[in-house]
Amino acid sequence: MKKIFTTLILLFTALMPIIAQNNMERLEKQAVEIISKMTLDEKISQMMNETPGIERLGIEPYDYWNEGLHGVGRNGRATVFPEPIGLGATFDTELVKQIGDAIATESRAKYIVARKNKNFARYTGLTFWSPNVNIFRDPRWGRGMETYGEDPFLTGTLGTAFVKGMQGEDPVYLKVAACGKHFAVHSGPEATRHSANIEPSKKDLWETYLPAFKMLVQEADVEIIMGAYNRVYGESCSGSKFLLTDVLRKQWGFKGHIVSDCEAVADIYQGHGIVKTPAEAAATAVKSGLNIECGSTLKGLKEALQQNLITEEDLDKALKPLMMTRLKLGILGKDENCPYNNFSEKDICSPEHIALAKKAAVESMVLLKNDGILPLKKDIHTLFVTGAGAADAFWLMGNYFGISDRYCTYLQGIVSKVSSGTAVNYRPGVLENSPTRNPINWAVDEAAGADYTIVVMGNNGNLEGEEGEAIDSDTKGDRTTLKIPECQMKFLKQIYDKKKVFEKKTGGIIVVLTGGSPVDVREISKLADAVIMAWYPGQEGGYALGDLIFGDENFSGRLPVTFPEDGDKLPAFEDYSMKNRTYKYMSDNIFYPFGYGLSYGKVSYTNPSAVMNNDLTLEVKTFVTNSSDKLTNETLQVYVSVPGAGKDAPREQLAAFKRVELKPNSTTEVVLKIDAERLKTVEEDGSLRLRSGVYKVFIGGAAPSKRTKDLGVSVVETEVKIK
């Protein structure tokens, strides 16, 4: 019987691809049939994000625009996870996949409820314009918070995991449709994105700006790609034959649909001035490979047809991937075969999702400095909590956020942990970006007089973000400096100076930094005994911070982006050359390196080795020791330096990473296998080449640099010869 059962399983497994292929062919025939029954006006109406219903064909109204960057966004109650830059700091691929799955579960449940209520509004659909896999090349970019950081491999790996979690594992149907954005070569400035023409070198294009998108297409089978606002090599990214057809479809084999960023098709004739009329812009976009627009400029397609700029066959070709997406979601008419039809309200903000948000927040926070003050004991005598963001839930959210029915502010999380016998007090003490008007500020004396003072300071969504959302920014969300607002820095210095008067300079100042991007921490690190980068940690951020500060959890977050020493030494923001940008191309001006983060453990690396196997995988081994009495999660990182790659090549580049749990006072051998593809060099013409020679391999707790060594981070080095 067992043998028969095993045989049946093997037979079923063998038949699965055939069944999936047959089902996919069935959906393709259905898509073609639906399109054939549409009138010309109906076809055009289905090529903009807000599509009307076609009752005679059983098609309901549908808006393709939904957001799920770190939770279902802009659509009522949903679990709010850390902003993606914080997820990047986890270096936790499986966690990011689980978050994608949780977001998809909640969105399905919300979709089902909305449709029962005949609600077809924006943000109720199942096509999510997430994740953002642009490279955080410049820390001044206001939207850098939406990304997984500055490294293409980390970004692509986490983005791939997120997409797989979002879209599910069914071979035919999608749980939701995910979207890689913004394709391509976009990371600020916000103020010029509608008119800028970017002409990166072919090397920078293929080495930095495109790899994450390629991973999403070829490893995650992402369903949607969104074109960026800017031009690349003179073509609008939403009307670029090179990007949308030659690269995306022909080279990478992308099968899904391509959407423009919002009003980017209008930019083809308005912002960029490539053509003169809406009809010409619409024709340019569709002929280049665009399937659907966020906006309404494609209404000009009817005039474009009349002017013979485009054919109805072009419209049919563009429509097919759109219809396929909705068929694979099981929402173009009722589809009982779709396995994702049975979610309900109980799946929204479930205990499991809340626990996942807490875990992600804990893993995301990075301990930048600790002079031995942390973890705090819970029975300390006096504690003062202060800062503009300490008791404000908005400082947890970031952008593209959802709205939870529970938030734990930093103040609440701290108070939930400390002893009931501890005297805890709180005052904001300072405004986020304005001088204090009252010459009397009790918060300074109270903060200075406490045994320990926790100051929550930094940026929030009013100070940084997208073009129209950062209302306290006069640069449309970008930052001209990496410095914290002057009023906040003045407040911190007042507390420090007064502590000296009270002879409590060593009594303890703990700074909790918020925000979605690097800040200038030179002075902060001198004034504070401990510094924590909390990012925008989502709804459970306060609980996570409390657990970490008081030692119920150990820090494991690592920086997914370099913290420069001096922001004034950065290249011009508008310059898209990668020279002197990110850890891969920077030799100095590094204050905290990529991959850096402290913990309560004491971790060291020894006995590294690297061998190239016959199957062209690089096998890397090392011993990792935790010589503390704390359970520690270490993020082991492998960097490779390629011989003879030229002066513009990366100094080192991340080739692998792994979170490793280390028991107290223990040593563990870790083995990693790295595919040869990760070792290839991008040549000046954009081609890939596996060079022969002796490769340097670095294994440790941060990207190798002089600053890394000065900070005392353990990094060991070995070599491997590749023929």
Catalytic residues: 261
Supply 188's token pair: 């600020």
Helices marked H in 522-571 — which ranges? Answer: 522-527, 541-549
What is the spatial distance between Cα 638 and Cα 661, in angstroms, rounded to a whole number? 17
In three-state form (DSSP H/G/I as H, E/B as E, the rest C), the secondary structure along 121-159 is: CCCCCCEECCCECCCCCCCCCHHHHHCCCCCHHHHHHHH
Give me the count of residues in the chain.
Answer: 723
- What is the distance, to the nearest Å, from the Cα of residue 392 to the centroid of all Cα atoms in its chain? 23
| 442-449 and 486-501 helices, crossing angle to 10° | 50
Supply 619's token pair: 């096998």
CB 217 within 8 A of CB 180: yes
Distances (CA, A) of 678 to 470, 681, 723: 38, 9, 16
What is the spatial distance between Cα 97 and Cα 168, in angstroms, rounded to a whole number? 10
| 351-364 and 541-549 helices, crossing angle to 10° | 50
What is the spatial distance between Cα 381 and Cα 666, in angstroms, rounded to a whole number? 35
- What is the distance, to the nearest Å, from the Cα of residue 174 to the centroid of all Cα atoms in its chain? 21
What is the spatial distance between Cα 411 and Cα 425, in angstroms, rounded to a whole number? 10
CB 121 within 8 A of CB 58: no
Q: Which of 516, 533, 515 is nearest to 525 (CA)?
A: 533
In the three-class reduction of DSSP (H, G, I as helix; E, B as strand; rest coil), residue 108 is classed as helix
Distances (CA, A) of 74 to 50, 399, 400: 16, 10, 7
Strand 224-227 with 257-260, pairing:
parallel
Tell me the sheet residues that pair with 421: none
In the three-class reduction of DSSP (H, G, I as helix; E, B as strand; rest coil), residue 182 is classed as strand
| 152-167 and 93-116 helices, crossing angle to 10° | 40
What is the spatial distance between Cα 676 and Cα 618, in angstroms, rounded to a whole number? 7
What is the spatial distance between Cα 214 and Cα 277, in angstroms, rounded to a whole number? 33
* Residues 478, 198, 214, 65, Cα dihedral to 10°: 50
Q: Which of 25, 14, 16, 61 is nearest to 42 (CA)?
A: 61
Helices and strands in the chain: count of H runs, count of E runs: 19, 25
What is the spatial distance between Cα 695 and Cα 424, in angstroms, rounded to a whole number? 55
CB 297 within 8 A of CB 238: no
Element holding 265 (H helix, E strand): helix 264-269
What is the spatial distance between Cα 434 and Cα 485, in angstroms, rounded to a whole number? 8
In the three-class reduction of DSSP (H, G, I as helix; E, B as strand; rest coil), residue 1 is classed as coil
What is the spatial distance between Cα 257 and Cα 317, in angstroms, rounded to a whole number? 11
Backbone φ and ψ for 183, nearest 5 degrees, come out as -90, 105
Map tokens 């902003």 to a residue: 83
Strand 632-641 with 653-662, pairing:
antiparallel
Distances (CA, A) of 578 to 106, 153, 319, 529, 606: 39, 16, 38, 35, 33
What is the spatial distance between Cα 155 and Cα 503, in angstroms, rounded to a whole number? 46
